[in-house]
Chains A and B, each alone.
Chain A
C-alpha cells in the first residue's frame, strides 16, 4: 500500500510548469516501479481466466495422477527399449503395432469386450471418409481379420504395453455401448508399410463437435462479448480506455471497431498462450521465457495522466531482464523489458520444455554443432545478405539450390524465393491473371489467398480435400465460362496443399490430379508442410500418394519446415520457370535469399536425399514416420479427438472451448510441454484446437513424456471427447 501512495505522489507529472526534468524523473520512477513489480512477483503465470477456470483443479487428485503416470512412464521406457531392439526394419515396427491392436482385439472376443471398447471408442465419434470413390466399406461386427494377425512380432512390446494398460482400465459396459463399439467403423489398419506407400491417402478424420462443447463455447463467447461491451461502456463513461487517447487530431480511428474489440476483450484474456518467446534453437527441447500478466496496479500506472502520450515517442529506458534458467542461478542471456503497452511482462525465468510446436519435422532446426561448417563458409564468402532482387542478387549458392530442389522434387527446374509466404503471394500472379480461374481448396493457407487475390483471376472454392466437389466446381465453371460475358476461361488453376497445417490432413492428390487432368486444368500443389515430411524418401505428397511429379504442373514448397531455414521454391517445367524468373514479382522485386540460408537448405537436402553418403536423412525420415504414427495412435487411445490423416506429422487435438485452449496451453507449459493452441480467427469459432507437430528429433521417451502430460491435462480439463 505504501508503495502505491508514494508512487501516486511521484507520478503526478506537471509538464507545463516544471522545467522538463521533473516529469522525466517521475517517469523514471514509474518505470522503476514497473521493474519493482517484476521482481516482487515471481509466482509464474497469473491470469484472470486461470483464476476462474471452469474446471477447478483438484491438487490431491493431480498428485495422485502424477504418481501413477510416473509409473506408467517407467513402464513405457522399458517397453521402448524393447521396441528399439525390434527396430531393425520399419516394416516390423508398423506391423508390430498393427499386430498389437489386432492381437489384442481378437484375443478372446466374448469375454474381453471391454478391450474392444477401449480400442474402438476413439473411432465412434469420428467420421471416416475414404479418399476415393472406391470406398472402404465399413466392416461391422468382428474386427479381427486374419491378415492383420501377425505372428512372431505380434508379441512385441507394444502388445504387452497394451494388455497392461487395458488391464488397469476396467469399466463396466452397457450392452448398448457395446453394440455401438462393435458397429463403429474401425481405424483402418494402415500402420503397415504396405499401406503407407500405396496409392491411397489415409482417410481424413473430421471434427465431430460434441453438443455440450458447442453450447459451452457459444455461451462463453456470448458472456465474454457482453461483458466486454459492458466494460467498454463503463470505461467510456470513466474515460479510462487505454489506447483511445493517442490518435492524430480529427482522424478516423485506425482500427475498425470489432477488430479492436476482439483484440482487447477476447484475445487479451488469453494472450499469454501465443508469442511465447524462447531463447534456444527450435530443436526437440526449447527454453521458454516465462511471462506473466501485468498486475492491475501496474496497469494503473499507465493510466496516469500524460504518461502514455509522452512515452509513445519517448519510451522510458528500462533495464533489461536477465534470463535465469529455472532451478539454477545461471544467467543465460538478456532481453529488453516488454513494451510498456504490453499486457504481459517477463519474469526472467527460463523453462526448458519439450517442443511439440515448431515445424521442425526432420530436426534441421537444431543441427549438432550449431550449423554445418559449409554454412559458415558461405557466410564468409558472401556476407549476410545480397541486398538485391534476383536480377542482380543471384548467387551461385542460390543457383545450386534451385538445381538441387528441382532434382529433389523431380521437376526440370525451380525458382527459389526468400520467404515462403511471398513465394505464393508473389509467384501466383505471374502464373495466372485476368480471364483465368483459380479453384482453391477452402482451407488453403493465407499466402495462397493473397497470391490468388493479387493475380486478378477469379477465385472459386471447393470443399476441403474433396475431389468430387472439385469436379463439380470444374464442370460448372467450364460450362458457364467467365461471369457475365460467358467467354471461355483462359486457363484454370487448381490449388491444393500437401498437408493442411491446421487440419493435419494429407491431400488426396491422386484423385485431385486425375480430375484436374480430366478437365485440362493446371494443378498447383503447395507442399509447405509436406515436403520432407511425407514419403519414404521425403519427396512430399507426390511420393506419398504415388503421383508422378510430372502430373503436377507446379510444385511449390517452403524451406521453413522440414529444412529448418527460410524461403520457398516453385518447381515446374523449364519454360514456366524461365517465364517466372522474368515476370514474377517475387523474382523481380523481392530480395534474394541469404546465401547462408541457402547453404543450410542444401546441406539438409543433401542429407535427406542421401547425396552426402550418410544414412542420417533416411533415419530421420523413418523416425519422423514412426513418431507421427505412434503419437496419433496413443492420442486416439487416450480418447482425445484428433483430426487429420494418419501418417501426417501434424496432429490437431480438438479442444473446442476457448477457455480450454488457454488452460490446455498453460497446463502443458507448467508441466514442461510447449504446445500450440489455435482458436478463432485462425479456425472457425467453434473448432479451436491444439496442434502438435511431431519431429524426427523426438525420441520415444520424449513422446511418452509428452503423452503423459497430455493425459494429465486432458483429465484435468475433461477433453477426452471420445470417451463416454
Chain B
C-alpha cells in the first residue's frame, strides 16, 4: 500500500475529525429529535376516529376532578350524599314566594289569597264580587278580532263580550286589513303554512327575499334581514355583535329581549337612567377615564342601546340627544329598537329616527324592529348602516341561523304592510292624533291618584300607574283589612287547637270543625274572606299557619316592596276586569321575576289608527269613571 503524502494524510485526518464531529453532532441532533418525537407520540394525542373509552373522564375533566371534593369521597359516601340530597320542588309554591323566600310555603299561599281578597274588598266589590274572586290570573281569551279595533273577549267561564281593543298593539290598524289578509290567503294556498327549515337550509323563499327587499327600500338601506320572531330578534342581534370585553351603555328600562341579549353577550353592561342622555354622558366619561387612552381601546366595541318608544314605559326616547352624545365621543355605536315607534313616529312612519331627523349611517348604526306591533305580523327585522351588519347576522345570529324561517304568509303580511304604509302615510298621523286625544282625555278626567306616563303625547303606548299617594292609601286600607281578618283567624285557630286537643285529633271531625269554623269566619268577615282564601284555610293547621303568616310574611313583604307590588298588580287586574265589563279591553303586563329593575304594575293601553276619535273620548271617560269608583271606595272606607 502506498504511503500517502503527509499533507494529504493531515488533510484527511482533519477531514475525518470534521466528519466525525459533524456526524456526532447529527447523531446527537437526531437522537434528540427522536426523543422529542417519542415524547409527542407518548402524549395522548388526538387520534381522529378514536373515541375515548366510555366512562373515563376527559383529561380536562380529570384535572378538574383532582381538585374537586368528590375525589376525596368514597363511593359509599357519594351514595349517601346522593341519598340525602333533596331537591326543591320544580314548581315553587307561588310566584311571589320567589321574592319573599318564606319559611313556610303554605302560609305564604294563604297570605297571598288573603291579600288578594282584601284588595277586592277594599275596592268595593259590589255586584262584581262573583267573578273577581275567580281565577283572574289566567289571561282572558280572545274569540275574534273585528275590524275597527274591536275584539270579542271572554274571562274565565263567563260569556263573550265585545270590547274596544286596547290590549293588542295594532298601531296602524293592520290587524284586520283586507288587503293584507287577501295576500296572506294567496300565500297560504301557494306555499302552505310553515317554511319547514332554517333560512340556510332551503327555508329561504322568494317571499322572504321580496319582504327583505321591501324593508330595505323602506328603511333606506341596501339590505335587511328578516327574523321569524320578534323577541328572538333583538336578543340574537345584541348577542351577535357585542362580545366579551365590549361595553354596552343601556337604558335601565329596556325590554326583556334586549336585556337578555346583553346578558348572553357577556359584555360589560353600564346602565344609565331612563331616557336620560345627561346621565349617559356621565357614565361614558366615567368609563373613558378608567380606560387607558391607547389604540388598543379600539378593540372594544361600545354600544348605546335605546328604544324608539320604550316598551316598558311608553316614553319616546330623546334620540336626538343620544345621537349627539354618540357624536361627541368616539367609538360609540347607537343601537335603536324601533319596535313600537316604527310606523308611528316620523312624517312617513319610518320611526323615531325620522321623527328626530336622524339618518341611518350618520347618526344611528343599527335599527331593530319587531313587526308584531305596527305591521300586525309575527317576526322582526334589522337594518344597519355598515355593510357587514346584515351579512354578519346571516352566519352568526343564533335566532336567525338556528331557527326555522318565518312562515311565508307572515313575511307577505310584512311586505304588504310596508307597501300600505308607503301608500297611506296618514295612518301614522292618525295613530299619533288618536294617541294625543286619548292622553288628553285621560289626563283631564282621571282621578288625581292615577298618572298617565309618557313624555310625548303622540306615543300610542299609554301606561297608567298609581301615584305614590294612591299606592299608600291603597296599601293602608288593605293592610287594615288583612290585620282584621288575620285577628279573626287567629282567634279561630286558638279555638280550634283546643278542640283538637279535646277531640284527640280525629281527622274527620277536625276537618269538619275546620270547615264549620271557616264558614263562621266567612260570616263574620262578611264577604271579606271568600273562596280563594277559604280554600287554603279549611284545615286546622292551615288556619294556624295563616294566622301566624302575618307576623312572618307581611313585614317581609312590606320591606321588599313585594307587598306593594302584589297589591297594585291586583288593583290593576281588577280594573282590567271591570273595564272589560264596560266594553274596554286593556292589558296588565306581567314581569319576569329576575329583572334587574322592577317597574310598578300598570294598566297599558295601545291606541290604534282604527279607533274612532269619538270612541276614544268615550273610552277615556269610561276608564276614568271606573278607576275613580275603585279609588273612591278605598278612600270612603278609611
Contact = CB atoms under 8 A, between A and B. Distances in A.
A392 B139 contact: yes
B522 interface: no
A313 B206 contact: no
A283 B193 CA distance: 11
A478 B202 contact: no
Interface in A426-458: 426, 429-431, 433, 445-447, 450, 453-454, 456
Contact of A383 (B48, B77, B199, B376): B376
B448 to A, nearest CB: 27
B184 A596 contact: yes
Given A206-B51, A251-B298, 17 more contacts: A246-B386, A249-B330, A323-B206, A360-B196, A383-B175, A393-B168, A422-B399, A453-B264, A520-B86, A564-B196, A572-B90, A581-B138, A582-B137, A583-B590, A585-B231, A597-B407, A600-B193
Contacts of A593: 378
Interface in A312-360: 312-315, 323, 333-336, 339-342, 355, 357-360
A277 interface: yes
A433 B169 CA distance: 31
B209 A336 contact: yes
Contact of B48 (A211, A288, A359): A211
A388 B169 contact: yes
Contacts of A572: 90
Contacts of A591: 229-231, 370, 372, 378
A358 B197 contact: yes
Nearest to B175: A383
Contacts of B399: 421-422
Given A278-B202, A478-B81, A387 B589 contact: no
Contact of A446 (B298, B398, B585): B398
B145 interface: yes
Given A419-B229, A419-B232, A333 B206 contact: yes
Given A249-B330, A418-B378, A254 B392 contact: yes
Given A254-B388, A396-B141, A421-B398, A282 B196 contact: yes
Nearest to A213: B48
B181 A379 contact: yes
A386 B174 CA distance: 11
Given A312-B387, A365-B194, A381-B144, A590 B231 contact: yes
Interface in B85-103: 85-92, 95, 98
Nearest to B406: A566
Nearest 10 CB-CB pairings of A with B: A370-B189, A392-B167, A419-B229, A336-B213, A392-B587, A250-B330, A560-B404, A421-B403, A282-B196, A358-B196
B204 interface: yes
Interface string B172-189: 001111001100110011
Nearest to A277: B204
A582 B590 contact: yes
B307 to A, nearest CB: 13
Contacts of A275: 199-200, 204, 394
B398 A341 contact: no
A391 B202 contact: no
Most buried by A among B85, B139, B410: B139
Contact of B372 (A259, A385, A395, A583): A385
B181 A339 contact: no
Interface in B226-258: 228-232, 235, 241, 243, 255-257
Interface stretch (A61-69, A293-301, A489-497): A489-497
- The size bracket of the interface on B is 35 or more
Nearest to A280: B191
B255 to A, nearest CB: 7
B403 A589 contact: no
Nearest to B57: A472
Contact of A553 (B90, B203, B333, B386): B90
A676 B403 contact: no
Interface of B: 48-49, 51, 54-55, 57, 65, 68-70, 73, 77-78, 81-82, 85-92, 95, 98, 137-145, 154, 167-170, 174-177, 180-181, 184-185, 188-197, 199-206, 208-210, 213, 216-217, 220-223, 228-232, 235, 241, 243, 255-257, 260, 263-264, 297-302, 330-333, 359-361, 365, 370, 372-373, 376-378, 385-392, 394-396, 398-399, 401-404, 406-407, 409-410, 413, 585, 587-594, 606
B260 A585 contact: yes
B230 to A, nearest CB: 6
A565 interface: yes
Contacts of B220: 313-314
Nearest to B300: A252
B231 A596 contact: no
A388 B70 contact: no
Interface in A578-605: 578-579, 581-591, 593-594, 596-597, 600
Contacts of A3: none
Given A357-B201, A579-B92, A250 B592 contact: no
B209 A335 contact: yes
A384 B182 CA distance: 10
Contacts of A450: 235, 264, 398
Interface in A593-650: 593-594, 596-597, 600
